[in-house]
Amino acid sequence: MAKNAKQTINGKAFEYALLKEFFERLASITKVSIVENEPFGTALKCFSSFNEKDQSHYSLVASFAVNFLIDLEPRLSYGISSTDILQLEIVSDTKGQTGDVRDVIAIRSLQKWEIGVSAKNNHRAVKHSRLSKDIDFGEKWLEIPNSKVYFSEIEPIFSFLEDKKKNDKNVRWSSISNKSDNIYVPILNAFKKELEKLNNENPEVVPERLVKYLIGSNDFYKIIKGKNKVEIHAFNIYGSLNESLGSKKPKAKVSKLKLPDRLIEVVFKNNSKTTLLITLNEGWQFSCRIHSAKSTIEASLKFDINLVSTPHSLFTNQLFVE
């Protein structure tokens, strides 16, 4: 099985395990329903593909995370009336394209309240964005259009890839000599120069908008499943996490995160021709690795963007699973 396919199955299985544990833990306390949509069916199928021992491990790790979140979010346990139903839902992957990175959400419509979790199985990726000769990353990421200069710099490279694909739809990346120097480095240099230009022209908005794009358009808890532990990170950018319900208070405080107001630098990672490091103030740093994603040539390239460092105010907790 390909690495990406296996990672997807693992991730979907963990999503189902979390939803199942939320339901089982809360059903005896409050009224709960599950939205049995297509993503739910996919996640259940992935979970069911594992043997009983692996399913038990997924459930055990998920139960540690769920029990901890219940302590942080009183509204999970408590409704305001008999008609206040907690609805659990696995979100479609297409939501991520619009900035919602949450995988599992819990909603109380009557309270106009919801929280979500981003379920990760052994990795810390925050975004998978693409670059091509037609993608305006400035508009998409920052709501500020890219310059004509940027498009004129990247157009020849992506047109070269497009032409190779037209001549042979099965042509492989291995057929390109010095791929890093001829493709990756010039694309990254153009991206770097354009991001710096957009920031220099709009320094009051670019740093904050960049983080909001990369992290997501909603507050969420990021749950990272390890072999013998689970990490919980609270991305409370907009201040919607950790709310009380009347006299019911959270058992721990989740601080609101400080967003940056300065882009410090965009540089190549040491000894790398494929990865840029974007550093901002308030402790934010992202790595952006560009790659081809597939063995056959496409007229676009993919960014794997990971969170390297975070503000000191980020609420984090590690739970060790025996």
Sequential pLDDT tens for the chain (322 residues): 556 678 889 999 999 999 999 999 999 999 999 999 999 999 999 999 999 999 999 999 999 999 999 999 999 999 999 999 999 999 988 655 557 889 999 999 999 999 999 998 756 678 789 999 999 999 999 999 999 999 999 999 999 999 999 999 889 999 998 999 999 999 999 999 999 999 999 999 999 999 999 998 899 999 999 888 999 999 999 999 999 999 999 999 999 999 999 999 999 999 999 999 999 999 999 999 999 878 899 999 999 999 999 999 899 999 999 7
Rounded to whole angstroms, the Cα distance separating 102 from 83 reads 26
Return d(Cα 118, Cα 104) in angstroms, integer.
Answer: 7
Beta bridge partners of 115: 106
pLDDT of residue 234: 96
pLDDT, position 191:
98
Work out whether the CA dihedral 199, 202, 205, 209 comes out positive or negative: negative
CA angle, residues 154, 262, 180, in degrees to nearest 5: 30
Output phi, psi for 89, to 5 deg. Answer: -145, 140
- Where are the chain's structural domains? 3-124+216-257+313-320, 126-211+259-309
pLDDT value at residue 98: 59
Which residue, 240, 219, 224, 211, is CA-closest to 311?
A: 211
H/E element holding 12? Answer: helix 3-26
Give residue 122's pLDDT.
58
Structure tokens at 29: 């306390």
pLDDT confidence of residue 269: 97
Q: How many CB atoms are located within 10 Å of the residue 169 CB?
A: 9
Evaluate whether 185 touches 273 at the Cβ level (below 8 Å): yes
Strand order in the sheet with 113-121: 32-34, 86-90, 104-108, 113-121, 220-225, 229-235, 315-320
Q: How far apart are CA 307 and CA 318, in angstroms?
A: 17
- Tell me what pLDDT residue 93 has: 80
- Cα–Cα distance, 34 to 88 (Å, whole number): 5
Helix, strand, coil: what percent of the chain each, to 5? Answer: 40, 25, 35
pTM of the model: 0.88
